[in-house]
Amino acid sequence: MVYKQNLHTHSVFCDGKDTPEEMVLKCLERNFNSVGFSIHSFVPYSKTVVIPLERIKQYKAEIRRLKEKYKGIIDIYLGIEYDFYSEGFEDGYEYTIGSVHYLNTKNGIQGFDNNLQSTLNYIDAHFDGDSLSFAKAYYETVASLPTIQKFDIIGHFDVLTKNNELKRFLDTDDEKYLGFAKDAILALKGKIDIFEVNTGAISRGYRTSPYPSKALLKEFLVNGFKPVISSDCHDKNFVDCYFDESAKLLKEVGFKSQCALINGKFEEISL
């Protein structure tokens, strides 16, 4: 890998295990050129995994401190992972990830990103047991991300399949399912150019392959999107989990390059 970077990193400021500085030191040990921090922004429907609004100032100050301290050694970026239902959108970030973890269901706004049993319960309680309705609602929300604000990166595009590697609740080859996902890709085209190959669920033992699926990677390719590889890191030991394999996967699918944030701008670099 010519330029090693991870732009999807969580720390003790939200639900990550490590301080940002511990993460930076691990990145240095693993020969990263750059690391970006992407706090879970504040969402009023969650009490545990997001940053409280009153800590945002402190988060920004800490990442800026590290940026100065490690200048010339490793490039550090201040980013944020917003949700469609985030509150407190504001300027001052060097890049933004747009993700969906909550859906507007018949029982109000509810978060779904969890284990298999809670996903099954979620579909039962909020979508009358119909996983295709769940998928439709998910991809429609993803497709609406650009209506909220400008995002640089589409976060974990098919994260609804986190607990579905054995197709326990969704047939991801089903034409209807693929249709919802493809419609979202077309809706995002020209609005958010970059998507991430996200390996986070591999390091946490939920999956053996990254998001998005191979079939959806092909759709991103034919529609001209550019990939970044990221580990959605919550534990420094997994900061480069499955990076080499993801680069190989992208090449197999037909991608010739990936993107990296270099000197504050996204550039295409070789895989």
Rounded CA separation 3/261 (Å)? 10
Mask for 145-184, x = binds Zn ion (CB under 5 A): ----------------------------------------
Touching Zn ion, residues 85-104 (CB under 5 A): 99
**Of 99 and 246, CB closest to Zn ion:** 99
* Residue 86 in tokens: 């985030």
Residue in 38, 30, 39 with CA at minimum distance from that of residue 4: 30
Rounded CA separation 185/215 (Å)? 12
**Of 75 and 232, CB closest to Zn ion:** 232
Residue in 9, 20, 54 with CA at minimum distance from that of residue 231: 9
**Of 135 and 173, CB closest to Zn ion:** 135
Q: How far is the CB of 82 from Zn ion (least distance, A)?
A: 10
What length does the chain have? 271
Per DSSP, what are the bridge partners of residue 257?
Answer: 270
From 188, 232, 246, 247, residue interacting with Zn ion (rule: CB under 5 A): 232
Touching Zn ion, residues 6-65 (CB under 5 A): none
**Of 62 and 232, CB closest to Zn ion:** 232
Q: Give the C-alpha distances (Å, rounded to integers) separating 63 from 59, 131, 209.
A: 6, 40, 30
Helix axes 243-253, 214-222, angle to 10 degrees: 60
**Of 32 and 82, CB closest to Zn ion:** 82
Mask for 127-146, x = binds Zn ion (CB under 5 A): --------------------
Q: How far is the CB of 175 from Zn ion (least distance, A)?
A: 27
List interacting residues with Zn ion (CB under 5 A): 81, 99, 232
